[in-house]
Amino acid sequence: MSYRTLAFFGILLVVQSHFVTPERSPVDDHKFDTNNKLYKGTLAAFVKFATQWGQRYGQVIEKVIEDLKAEGKGHENVDEIEQLQEIVELSKHLKGDSDDETLHNIMDFDEEEINTDEILEQYADMDHILALVYKDGKDVVKEFYRNLVKFVHGFSKALEKYTKDMSEEERAEHKQFFEWFNKFEELKQKNDVIAQSHMFLDFFKLFKPNI
């Protein structure tokens, strides 16, 4: 299970829409140095954000599992409960020995898990499960979205400052980076934080293409 799968529960409830699988940004042939201050600062901030909210969502989902069992639906929803338990376990093991290892844990997911429609199809009564998530973690869901907005906006400001300070030579070397950056900025103008969050993980691939 991936962090995207975990975060899906909260975002789906807040914006009442499904994740759309993001297009993969092309990898820049001239990758950036990972000693870059923007990379290090963004990585540290994201790891803190992801592990904190991963754990909090894990606690909410544990309550959902208890609710399903208390309703006498444990046998009826055995597959759903098993998958929810996998998410709980994920939330407990996101943190690695380093920020880079934690990032790898977060991004190490099966391609099948990116597609929200496929996730939804795995559950016999997703509406009921989402209702339980909202009942058990309404404040967590809302706080998660508020913090997601702050995180994306903070990253966007740092990114704008970084690109503004780049020389013409650097800009010429990293054309694909600027294609990604321009798309990210277009989404900002549309105030589409969810779509920006989809593009965000591709930022790290500009530094580590094989992550």
Tens digits of residue pLDDT in 100-117: 888 887 776 434 344 445
pLDDT at 13 over 50: no
Contact 161, 155 (CB under 8 A): no
Contact 87, 129 (CB under 8 A): no
Q: Lowest-pLDDT range, 7-11, 81-85, 93-97, 119-123?
A: 7-11
- Cα distance between residue 144 and residue 42, in whole Å: 18
- Cα distance between residue 175 and residue 168, in whole Å: 11
- Cα distance between residue 136 and residue 62, in whole Å: 9
**Average pLDDT of the segment spanning 114-137:** 68
Tens digit of pLDDT for each residue in 158-207?
999 989 988 888 888 888 889 999 999 999 999 888 788 878 888 888 88
- Cα distance between residue 71 and residue 129, in whole Å: 12
Contact 128, 72 (CB under 8 A): no
What is the chain's mean pLDDT, rounded? 75
**Average pLDDT of the segment spanning 93-100:** 86
pTM confidence score: 0.76
DSSP per residue over 34-103, as a string? TT-HHHHHHHHHHHHHHHHHHHHHHHHHHHHHHHHHHTT-TTTTHHHHHHHHHHHHHHHS---SSHHHHH
Residue 63 confidence (pLDDT): 92
Contact 109, 4 (CB under 8 A): yes
- Cα distance between residue 149 and residue 197, in whole Å: 9
- In the structure, what pLDDT confidence band is assigned to residue 119 with cuts at 50, 70 and 90? low
pLDDT at 11 over 60: no
Q: Where are the domains of the chain?
A: 3-206
- Cα distance between residue 124 and residue 77, in whole Å: 7
Tens digit of pLDDT for each residue in 23-68?
434 444 456 777 888 899 999 999 888 888 888 888 888 998 899 8
- In the structure, what pLDDT confidence band is assigned to residue 121 with cuts at 50, 70 and 90? low
- Cα distance between residue 161 and residue 168, in whole Å: 15
